[in-house]
Amino acid sequence: MAGAGLGMAELVPVAGGAAVEDYVALLKPRVMSLVVFTGITGLLLAPGALHPVLAVIAVLCIAVGAGASGAINMWYDRDIDALMTRTRDRPIPAGRMTAAEALGFGTTLAVGSVTLMGLALNWAAAALLLLTIAFYVGVYTMWLKRRTPQNIVIGGAAGAFPPMIGWAAVTGDVSLESLALFAIIFMWTPPHFWALALYRSADYARAGVPMLPVVAGLTETRRQILIYSLLLVPLTLVPVWLDVVGWTYGAVALVLGALFLLAAWRVWREASERSARHLFAFSILYLFLLFGALLVDGVGGI
Shortest Å, Cβ 103 to another protein: 17
Provide, rounded to whole angstroms, the least separation between the CB of residue 171 and another protein. 15
| Closest CB to another protein among residues 7, 16 | 16
Instruction: Spell 216-230 as b/e; 16+ CB within 10 A means b.
Output: eebeebbebbbebbb
Q: Which is nearer to another protein, 14 or 231 (CB)?
A: 14
For another protein, give the closer residue by CB, 4 or 20: 20
Rounded distance between C-alpha atoms, residue 293 and residue 254, angstroms: 11
Q: How far are the Cα atoms of 100, 166, 286 from residue 181, in angstroms, in the given order?
A: 36, 11, 14
Q: Which of 250, 246, 222 is nearest to 234 (CA)?
A: 250
Nearest distance, CB of residue 14 and another protein, angstroms:
5
φ, ψ dihedrals at 259, nearest 5°: -65, -40
Closer Cβ to another protein, 64 or 144, answer by number: 64
Q: Which is nearer to another protein, 16 or 301 (CB)?
A: 16
Question: How far is residue 292's CA from residue 139's CA, in Å, rounded to a whole number?
Answer: 29
CA distance 289 to 270: 26
Instruction: Name the minimum Å distance from CB 53 to another protein.
Output: 5
Please give the Cα distance from 294 to 301 (Å, whole number). Answer: 10
Q: For binding to another protein (CB under 8 A), which residues are involved?
A: 14, 16-20, 23, 51, 53-54, 57, 60, 95, 120
Least separation, in Å, of the C-beta of 184 and another protein?
30
